[in-house]
Every structure is written in C-alpha cells, then in structure tokens.
Amino acid sequence: MYTKFYGLAKKPFALTPDPAVVFMSETHQEGLAILKYGVLSKKCFLVLTADVGSGKTTLLQSLIHSLEQDVHLCLLNNPILYRDEFFSYIAKKLGLKWDGNKAMFLIEFGNLLKECYKKDERVLLIFDEAHVLPVDLLEEIRLLSNLEEKGQDVLSIFLVGQPELNERMSDDRLLPLRQRIGIRFHLSRFTLDETRQYILFRLRHAGARHFNIFSEDAIAMIHKVSQGTPRLINIICDHALLTGFAENKPVIGAELIEESVADLHFPGEANPLPIANPNKSNTFKVTAILGGATLFCLLLAIFLWRYYR
C-alpha cells in the first residue's frame, strides 16, 4: 500500500468518521458551540443545515461525546419511518414503555419531562437527515414540545439535514413549527486555508514524517475541485496517494490531482475540472468535414437551379 511509500502509519483519509481524529474548522467550532448552547438554552427548536459531506455527522458526534450524564438523548439517524415506528424508536432510546398506543406514549413522555425538571436534567431529541422527514412527522415532532408545562424548558429538539430542509419547512402546514425555531445555523465548507490545514492535520494523525506530500498547487486544485467539502477532499487525496504510489511520485502535484479527478469521474456527473478531452480534436475534424460537405451541396444546388432555370 501507499502508506509505507509515503512514510505513513495508516491511511490518513478514511471516509468513516473517527471520533479520535476530528478537525474543527472555524465554522465547525462555531457550530459546536451553537449546538451546546442549544442543549442548555430555552429555545427548544434548533435547525442545523449542511451540504452533503460537510461534516455534520462528525459535529453531532463531537456534541454527543461532550454531553453530561444529566442529558437524556435520542438520536435518530434514519427518520424514514412509519408513525408507530417513529414513536417506538423514541420510546426505546429514552427508556419509555411502548405498547403501540400513542396516547400512553405521550403520557410517558410528559412524565419524563416532569421528572427531568425536578432533577434539573434535560431531554435532547436529534433528528438527523431531517430533510427527508414527511410533513406529518415534522408536525408530530412539534406536538411533542407541547407536552412541556410552562416554565419547565427541559426539552431541546434539533432538526439536522441538508439545505433542502429549509424548503421542506416552508410548507404552509408547518408554520406553527417555523414559529418555534429559536436557532438556525448553516455549516459552511472549508476555505482554502482550512483545506490546507485539514490535509496537514490528517497527515499528522496518520504519522507522516514530512508534510510536503501535497504541493501547494495540488492543495489549491483539491480545494477547487472539492469546493472545501471534507468528504470530497478525503476521496481525492486518498486516490491521489494511491496514484502517486503507482507512479512512484513522492510529491503530489496539481497534474496528478487532475489525473485522479479524471479517474474518479463517474458517467453522467459534471466534471468540475477543465480536463482536456482526448476526443476533442477528432470531434473538431468531423464537424469541419460535415460543415464542408453541407456547403458543397448548397453551392451545387444553387448552380443547378440557375443552369436549368
């Protein structure tokens, strides 16, 4: 593998989030601070949006690892559930009884909120991938907040998803929910400098002995292609290291990044890099030939029309 070739102890750009290796950009630090505030504040509803691969899962893991023991947590990663499955999942995570009766669940949930208020504890419900939640379940989530008695303020509900979540919540039926949202935050992608810091951070935690594996031009190209999205940075860097190893290149330059991106280009997807098309010259030749033939036919037709008129 390329790890030995580049003096690494392990692969630095694994796609699976590792809680032990968390790079916190400025916007990620701000996002984590806002999430922590959302747990302690009395705003109840918080909406966090992020583009695909921008690190919201890593951010949620960082929050969960920082929670105190007095927080009762329910994290739902896959909200595509029927209503009964939805309530069953929440009940299981919070240690409540569930016999298929929604009314009994609501009583149990209300009692939990009362007990948490007495013990100075909190309840945190996090719904990840919330942009795929149907309107009826979003309304059920809002109604859960109605179970809090005035002055309790122990329940926090986080709706986390892609930017499409904002479009979903623009539905007129969700006006009561929108009016209860106390905090909104969008997790931005990396700047060029943060992309550079991220790459060096991952190399350092992989045991790199030197940090000039990627040239400055290569890092700039990686940022351009990935647009600062951590997941895409990982994919591009991992493939570039593999390609560099295969081509015996100890330093990865911009050309090798272009080559890697071309290899990763899937059919039907727009390629963000202006990589040369090897068939471009042939296409030009064919177009020129067809154009010339068309012009010849047109001139011949005019000549024959005048001759036989």
The angle at the Cα of 83, spanning 79 to 87, to the nearest 5 degrees, equals: 80
Residues 113-127 pLDDT 10s: 999 999 999 999 999
Structure tokens at 68: 């105190």
Q: Give how far Cα 83 sits from Cα of 43, 86, 102, 171, 211, Å.
A: 25, 5, 9, 20, 51
Q: Which of 5-14, 29-38, 148-157 is predicted with the least confidence, judged by mean pLDDT?
A: 148-157
Residue 286: pLDDT above 50?
A: no
Phi, psi angle pair for 171, to nearest 5°: -60, 135
pLDDT score, position 152: 78
Q: Which residues contact 73 (CB under 8 A, 6 or more apart)?
A: 64, 67, 93, 124, 126
Closest by Cα among 134, 154, 135 to 145: 154
State the helix-helix crossing angle for 135-145 and 83-94, rounded to 10 degrees. Answer: 40
CB distance 74 to 124 below 8 Å = yes
Handedness of CA 230, 235, 238, 243 (dihedral sign): negative
- Neighbouring-strand partners of residue 74: 125
Closest by Cα among 203, 202, 237 to 219: 237
C-alpha distance across the termini of the chain, in Å: 78
Q: How much is the pTM?
A: 0.82
The CA distance from 188 to 51, in Å, is: 8
The residue whose two tokens read 């727009």 is 270
- What are the boundaries of each domain within the chain? 2-12+190-264, 26-187
CB distance 155 to 190 below 8 Å = no
Q: Which residues contact 204 (CB under 8 A, 6 or more apart)?
A: 211
Structure tokens at 180: 């209860």
CATH hierarchy code of domain 2-12+190-264: 1.10.8
For the chain, percent of residues with pLDDT exceeding 70: 86
CATH hierarchy code of domain 26-187: 3.40.50.300
Residues 62-83 pLDDT 10s: 999 999 889 999 999 988 899 9
Residues 227-265 pLDDT 10s: 999 999 999 999 999 999 999 999 999 999 999 999 887
